[in-house]
């Protein structure tokens, strides 16, 4: 067992947070640090179980797993959006990749720009889900991202996901 004691300054061993992440998430950064290994492990185990059931020809179990994954979709999007947003905040503020983005191997994309873009893309998926299923807790749902979206629109979907996640955490305190 690790001797590391999680704090908002270092929620995960070796991960130092930025002031922007601390301002956005406060004491909830500790929970985000806990989510990183959980999300990775859960995703791998769910896929493994689904593949094993499929290989064994257990269609009932496959159907159950698929239905279970569909019900958990919003929670997964919400948690992943919060983790990516917090990591992006730790890398400072800046621009995003254009939408649509065309890969150009001659000019590599800076990792912080890619991370911010991924954070906004996942947050946009959450926005789409909440609009479709009317599952928003905080309301004031921004528009999902479209081709040609602005940096401000990307910031808005990240802020929405952050609000939704923090509100969900506050319910358990």
pTM higher than 0.75 for the full model?
A: no
Burial of 18 (0-12, 13-18, 19+ CB in 10 A): middle
pLDDT value at residue 33: 76
Domain hosting residue 77, numbered range: 19-101+108-170
114 within some domain: yes
Tell which residue, 167, 73, 54, has the closest CA to residue 129: 73
- In total, how many domains does the chain have? 1
Pairwise pLDDT comparison (33 vs 131), residue with the higher score: 131
**Average pLDDT for 51-57:** 84
Strands (E), 23-96: none
pLDDT value at residue 6: 64
Would the pLDDT of 1 be above 50? no
């Amino acid at each position: 067992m690790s001797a590391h004691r999680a704090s908002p300054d270092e929620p995960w061993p070796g991960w130092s947070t930025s002031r922007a992440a601390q301002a956005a998430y406060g004491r909830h950064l500790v929970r985000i640090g806990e989510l990183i290994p959980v999300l990775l492990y859960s995703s791998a185990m769910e896929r493994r179980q689904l593949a094993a059931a499929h290989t064994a020809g257990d269609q009932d179990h496959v159907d159950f797993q698929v239905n279970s994954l569909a019900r958990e979709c919003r929670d997964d999007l919400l948690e992943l959006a919060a983790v990516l947003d917090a990591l992006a905040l730790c890398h400072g503020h800046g621009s995003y990749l254009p939408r649509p983005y065309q890969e150009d191997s001659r000019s590599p994309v800076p990792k912080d720009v890619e991370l911010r873009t991924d954070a906004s893309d996942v947050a946009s998926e959450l926005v789409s889900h909440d609009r479709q299923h009317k599952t928003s807790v905080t309301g004031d749902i921004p528009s999902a991202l479209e081709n040609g979206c602005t940096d401000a629109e990307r910031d808005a979907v990240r802020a929405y996901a952050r609000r939704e996640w923090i509100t969900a955490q506050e319910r358990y305190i």
